[in-house]
C-alpha cells in the first residue's frame, strides 16, 4: 500500500508487476557473493516495492543475508589477524630461544631478544 498526495491509501493495481521483484532476486544472490553490493541492491529493491505498494520478501532476505555475511566476514578477519600476530610472536620467540639475548639478523630483519 502506498499513500497518495492526499494521504489516502492506495492498493497495488491488480495484476501489476512488483517493480522491485527482479532487483530483490539479484540483491539476494549478491548477498552471498558481494554482501555490500547485495545490501545496497536489496535496499533499493525494498524501497521500489514499498513505493509501489508491494512487499518484497526476497529483498528483505537479501538485506538480512548481506548483514549476516558481512558480520561473519568481519569476525573471521579479526580472528585471522589475531592468529597471524600469534604466529609471528611464536616465531620471534623461537629465534630468541635459539640465539639467546641480543640483536639478531634473521632473513633481513633485526630481532631483539632480551
Per-residue pLDDT tens for 53-93?
999 999 999 999 999 999 999 999 999 999 998 888 888 88
Q: Residues near 70 by Cβ (< 8 Å), separated by ≥ 6? A: 35, 36, 39
Contact 2, 10 (CB under 8 A): yes
Rounded Cα distance, 31 and 22, in Å = 14
Rounded Cα distance, 56 and 83, in Å = 41
- At residue 102, does pLDDT exceed 70? yes
Report which DSSP code applies to 99. Answer: H
Return left, alpha or beta for 80; rule: phi > 0 is left, psi -120 to 50 is alpha, else beta.
alpha
CA 84 to chain centre: 22
- At residue 14, does pLDDT exceed 70? no
Q: How high is the pLDDT of residue 13?
A: 60
Contact 106, 95 (CB under 8 A): yes
**pTM assigned to the model:** 0.70
- At residue 1, does pLDDT exceed 70? no
Contact 16, 52 (CB under 8 A): yes
Amino acid at each position: 500500500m502506498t499513500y497518495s498526495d492526499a494521504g489516502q491509501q492506495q492498493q497495488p493495481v491488480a495484476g501489476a508487476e512488483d517493480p522491485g521483484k527482479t532487483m530483490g532476486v539479484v540483491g539476494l544472490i549478491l548477498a552471498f557473493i558481494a554482501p555490500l553490493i547485495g545490501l545496497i541492491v536489496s535496499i533499493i529493491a525494498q524501497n521500489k516495492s514499498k513505493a509501489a505498494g508491494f512487499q518484497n520478501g526476497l529483498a528483505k532476505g537479501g538485506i538480512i543475508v548481506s548483514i549476516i555475511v558481512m558480520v561473519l566476514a568481519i569476525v573471521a578477519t579479526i580472528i585471522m589477524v589475531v592468529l597471524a600476530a600469534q604466529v609471528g610472536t611464536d616465531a620471534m620467540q623461537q629465534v630468541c630461544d635459539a640465539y639467546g639475548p641480543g640483536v639478531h639478523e634473521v632473513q633481513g630483519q633485526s630481532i631483539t631478544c632480551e
